[in-house]
Amino acid sequence: MSFTAINIAEFPIAAWQRNVPKLRSSACVVVDGVPPQEKVVSLCRQAKSAGVEHGMSRVQAEAGSAAVFRARKHDEERAAFATLLEIAERFTPRVEVILSPQNNYAEERRLAVVLLLDSSGIGTLFGTAEQYARRLYAELHAAGFPAGIGGAPNAEAALLLARSTEGVAFADRHSLRGRLARLSVYLLPCEDRMQAVLRRWGIRTLGQLAALPETALISRLGQQGLRLQQLARGDADHLLVPQEGEFTLSETVALDTPVELLDSLLFVLSPMLEDILRKAVERAYALRSVRLTLQLERLEPHSVAVRPATPTQNREVLLKLLNLELQAHPPQSGIVSVTLEAEPTQPQTAQRGLFQAQFPEADKLELLLARLRSIAGEGNVGSPQLQNRHGDDAFTIAAFQPSLRACADKERLPSRLAVRIFRPPQSVRVTCWSDQPRVMFWQGARYVISYCAGPWHASGSWWNGEAWDRDLWDVVTVEPVQALRLRYEHSSKCWFVVGLYD
């Protein structure tokens, strides 16, 4: 077995400084509470050197140092932890969250993040256990996390090594006890009362604690003393419980100054969308939909969403779709915050036949549909679907979904007569003999009807106040010869030419 632990002692400071790199060498202090009763909850090494301590009031801390103070931001900590967990999951799928903003740091006094990774069986990907730990440290350092990394064949030993360093501390099973013997007993997870007892006994290192007689230690400190001695020797067991968090794709960026230009907004959206796609591709997902929420100055949030016809992993296509959607529905005020959320799904794949007609690429097809929607209107582009009624224009426009079936598989339908509908219907004056249309006056000309079929009576929608009641006729004129569809409205007692047969 092989375990690797990650320890970030002052996580609120780490979450703050990774977003503001210029403050990483400055004395920074995070306070929490209601003014003027704010207390110091997290501070960096430079602030400790300046005399600031945990639990100080803000007034006390400001009086004795020139540190940079800021109120604690829980959203920032949660976002930073999500990034940290994502990096850890790149190295192993088995990650246990011991301390984090998710569990409120397990009610500890120090706001530290501690993760335990099962690094067994992945040597072919990352090399030896020590190389694994150093690659993990390099990845975290590049992301702006000042982490301590501990690697050991025992989980509890890996946690102790991670707490003891701000770099990489590694030990194999031969050097583990010697490496632990040099560590301070203050690294042990125990109560202050137990630490005070060890201090009175003159125990300062784990090696001194490990050398104590086991029977005498148990008689004085009980089972807790035995547990501490096992930790000092590297013999304590730990059952790793992997984190089973929900996989979400979301990015949020707070802007320093309000953004009003669309080009500036797209400049912000591009890296956010790239990060979301990278997370999706790492898990073999494509994006089914993307929702953009803009926090505006003095106005309600503005949201737009795009949903490609087929799931995609193409950043340029999604960015162009968002651009077209924002052009059609622009925000009405300056933008102060941007949130991008995506819905992951399995990529759609299909094997086409050798002699099958080529379909346009899905990404290009989606861009074409988006451009058509921007010209024709949001609800005017798509696939028609018939409704279960007999009224005029009894169809709706649904989202276009390209068919992946081969053309050869489709049943060949017989040719049919088509009618070209006039919108709106054209008014006509009709003379009837024996209750059948015989002569019609249409567009300034007189037409003699040589043949007519009908009437077909149709009515409906009487239940919702949009009632219609009409007779339909199919007629053929003598000169010129043409087939027309006529409609007689009972409510207005008027005739209309509905369409022309092709």
Q: Which of 147-161, 245-259, 456-470 has the highest mean pLDDT?
A: 147-161
Is residue 357's pLDDT more than 70?
no
Is residue 360's pLDDT more than 60?
no
What pLDDT is stored for residue 445 in this prediction? Answer: 87
Number of Cβ atoms within 10 Å of the Cβ of 303 = 13
Mean pLDDT of the region 11-31: 89
Q: Strand order of the sheet with strand 113-118?
A: 95-99, 113-118, 3-8, 148-152, 168-170
- Higher-scoring residue by pLDDT: 369, 199: 199
Question: Given the DSSP bridges, would you call strands 28-32 and 68-71 parallel, antiparallel or unpaired?
Answer: parallel
Is residue 401's pLDDT more than 70?
no
What pLDDT is stored for residue 6 in this prediction? Answer: 95
- What is the percent of the chain where pLDDT is above 90? 25
Mean pLDDT of the region 436-445: 88
Q: Which of 65-69, 308-312, 393-397, 404-408 has the highest mean pLDDT?
A: 65-69
Number of Cβ atoms within 10 Å of the Cβ of 472 = 16
Q: Looking up tokens 């997902």, which residue turns up?
A: 285
What pLDDT is stored for residue 402 in this prediction? Answer: 60
Rg (CA), the chain: 37
Rounded CA separation 113/374 (Å): 48
Position 356 confidence tier, pLDDT thresholds 50, 70, 90 = low
User: Are the C-beta atoms of residues 251 and 239 closer than 8 Å to each other?
Assistant: no
What pLDDT is stored for residue 406 in this prediction? Answer: 44
- Higher-scoring residue by pLDDT: 354, 48: 48
Number of Cβ atoms within 10 Å of the Cβ of 15 = 29
What pLDDT is stored for residue 443 in this prediction? Answer: 86
Is residue 171's pLDDT more than 60?
yes
Tokens of 259: 């953004």
Is residue 205's pLDDT more than 50?
yes
What pLDDT is stored for residue 138 in this prediction? Answer: 94
What pLDDT is stored for residue 351 in this prediction? Answer: 59
- Higher-scoring residue by pLDDT: 30, 378: 30
Q: Cite the beta strand spans of 193-348 per DSSP E.
A: 249-259, 286-296, 302-306, 335-345
Is residue 162's pLDDT more than 90?
yes
Is residue 397's pLDDT more than 70?
yes
Is residue 56's pLDDT more than 50?
yes
- Higher-scoring residue by pLDDT: 254, 114: 114
User: Are the C-beta atoms of residues 2 and 150 closer than 8 Å to each other?
Assistant: no
Over the stretch 295-341, which tens digit does the pLDDT of each residue have? 998 889 999 998 887 788 888 888 888 988 888 888 888 899 899 99
Is residue 449's pLDDT more than 60?
yes
Mean pLDDT of the region 92-121: 87
CATH class of 249-345: alpha beta
Is residue 410's pLDDT more than 60?
no
Rounded CA separation 112/114 (Å): 6
Is residue 167's pLDDT more than 60?
yes
Rounded CA separation 256/111 (Å): 27
Is residue 404's pLDDT more than 80?
no
Q: Which of 64, 86, 434 is nearest to 243 (CA)?
A: 86
Please spell the DSSP secondary structure of 415-429, one letter per residue: P---EEEEEEEEEEE
What pLDDT is stored for residue 358 in this prediction? Answer: 58
Residue spans per domain, the chain: 3-233, 249-345, 419-501
What pLDDT is stored for residue 408 in this prediction? Answer: 45
Position 387 confidence tier, pLDDT thresholds 50, 70, 90 = confident
pTM score, whole prediction: 0.60
What pLDDT is stored for residue 311 in this prediction? Answer: 83
Over the stretch 251-266, which tens digit does the pLDDT of each residue have? 888 888 888 888 888 8
Is residue 230's pLDDT more than 50?
yes
Give the three-state DSSP class for 154: coil
What pLDDT is stored for residue 363 in this prediction? Answer: 61
Mean pLDDT of the region 438-444: 88
Tokens of 363: 């990404």
Rounded CA separation 8/141 (Å): 11
Position 407 confidence tier, pLDDT thresholds 50, 70, 90 = very low
Q: Spell 121-139 as b/e; 16+ CB within 10 A means b.
A: ebeeebeebeebbbbbbee
Q: Strand order of the sheet with strand 249-259?
A: 249-259, 335-345, 286-296, 302-306
Number of Cβ atoms within 10 Å of the Cβ of 264 = 13
